[in-house]
Structure 1
Amino acid sequence: MQRICLFPGTFDPFTLGHLDIVKRSVGLFDKLVIGIGKNINKKPMFSDEQRLVWVKDIFKEDPRIDVIIYEGLTVQCCKKIGAKYIVRGIRYVNDFEYEKVIADMNRSLDAEVETVFLTCSPQFTSVASTLVRDVLMNGGDASQFLPEPVKSHILNMQKDRQP
C-alpha cells in the first residue's frame, strides 16, 4: 500500500519555508501531494492557478510530488486522493497549538488520517506567507524568502507596474 501524504495550505505565495517542509517530508512518504486549498475566509493575493503553476514548476523534476487545487474539508481531499497522512509545518509553539486543534478535528472526522508535524529549519522560522504578502503589498523586496519561479514571476510583475 502506497503511503500518500497531503501537504495542505493556501501557499499565497509559496515560500522557502514551504519548500523546506516539502523537501524534508517527501522522503517519508511514497507520494506527497501539495494541496492548494481554497479557503473561503481568505482573499488570496495570487490566483489559485498562479500558485498551482509556481508549485508545479518548482517540483517538475520530482515524480513523487504532485500538486492539486481543492475545496472543502482537508480530510475529504485526503479521501479523494487516497492520502492517509497530512503534513504540517510548525514554526513556533503557537503554530503547534493552532495546528493541533485542526489535527484533532480532522482525526474526529476521519480516524484513518494521521497528521505529522515537522518543525521548520531555524533559518525559516520568520518566513510566513502573511509577512511576505505584507512586504510585497508595501513595495518591498521579498525575494530572499521565495523559491526561484515565484521570485522571478513577482519581480516581473513589479517591473510591469513601474512607470
Structure 2
Amino acid sequence: MKIAVFPGSFDPYTLAHHDLVERALPIFDKIYVAIGINSAKVGMMDVDLKKEAIAALYASNPKIEVTTYKGLTVDYCKEVRAQVILRGLRNTTDLDYENIIAQNNLQLNPAVESYFLVSRTGLAHISSTIVRDIWRNNGDIAPLVPAQILKYIEKLDRK
C-alpha cells in the first residue's frame, strides 16, 4: 500500500491544501492529513476544531484520514507505515525551505521520501498566514478556503 503523510499546522486549511490532496489522491492508496501539534503556537483554530473541520471536508473519502501528531514527522510516518511525506511548493522560497527539511528527514529516516507538488496556477498566492491576516482584519476569505472549512471559521472570534 502506498501511504503518504501530508503534515502541517493547517491554520486554517486552505484551497491550496485541498487542491494538493485532491491531486495526490491518484498517486496514493491512503493520505494522512496530519495536523502537527505545537503547544508553543497559538493559532486561529485549536487543534480539535481543525481536525473536525478537515475531517468533515473529507468525510466521504475513505482514502483520506485526518489525524494529529507530536514530534518528528518521520517518526509519525513510521507509526502509520507511510513511505512518503507530501508537500506543496508555491515558489522558490518554499523549494529552498522544503529541500532543507527533506534532506534532514532523509538522514533521520531513509525509508521516507518527500514528494513535492507545485501549486496550481491561481492558488500559489494562498497561505494560511495570509488567510489569518485577512480574517483578523475583517476581510473576505471565502475565495481562499473550502466552503466546508469556512463554516467552522465563521464561528470564531476575529482576533
The interval holding the TM-score normalised by the smaller chain is over 0.9
Structure 1 gaps, min length 5? none
Q: Secondary structure at the match of 2:114?
A: strand
1:42 CA displacement? 3.0
User: After alignment, is 108-117 or 146-155 more displaced?
Assistant: 146-155
- TM-aligned CA deviation for residue 118 of structure 1: 0.2
TM-score w.r.t. the length of structure 2 is 0.95
Q: Which residue of the partner structure matches residue 103 of structure 2?
A: 104
Residue 139 (structure 1) shift: 1.4
| 1:42-93 per-position Cα deviation (integer Å, ceiling 9, x unaligned) | 3211100000001100111111000100000000100110101011000001
Aligned to 1:44: 43
Partner amino acid, structure 1, of 2:8: G
Q: Could you say which structure has the higher helix fraction? A: 1
Measured against aligned partners, the alpha-carbon deviations of 1:129-157 in whole angstroms (never above 9, x if no partner) come to: 00000011111111110111211222344
Post-superposition Cα deviations, 1:113-141, rounded to whole Å, max 9, x if no partner, equal 00000001011011000000001111111
Q: Which residue of 1 aligns with 2:70?
A: 71
Q: Which residue of 1 aligns with 2:132?
A: 133
Correspondence for 1:153: 152
Partner Cα distance (2:62, 2:68) in 1: 18
State the Cα distance separating 1:26 from its structure 2 match.
1.4
For residues 42 and 63 of structure 1, the distance between their equivalents in structure 2, rounded to whole angstroms, comes to 30
Residue 97 of structure 1 aligns with an amino acid whose one-letter code is D
SS at match of 1:44: coil
Map of 1:11 onto structure 2 = 10
Deviation by residue 1:20-47 (Cα, 9 ceiling, x = unmatched): 0000011101110000001355321110
CA distance in 2: counterparts of 1:23 and 1:112, whole angstroms: 24
Which secondary structure does the structure 2 equivalent of 1:123 belong to?
coil
Q: Report what 1:34 is aligned to.
A: 33
Q: Match for 2:64: what amino acid?
A: I
- TM-score, normalised by the number of residues in structure 1: 0.93
Structure 2, unpaired ranges of 5+: none
Amino acid at match of 2:71: G
- Tell me which residue corresponds to 2:122: 123
Structure 1 vs Structure 2: percent identity of aligned residues?
Answer: 37
4+ long deviations beyond 3 Å: none
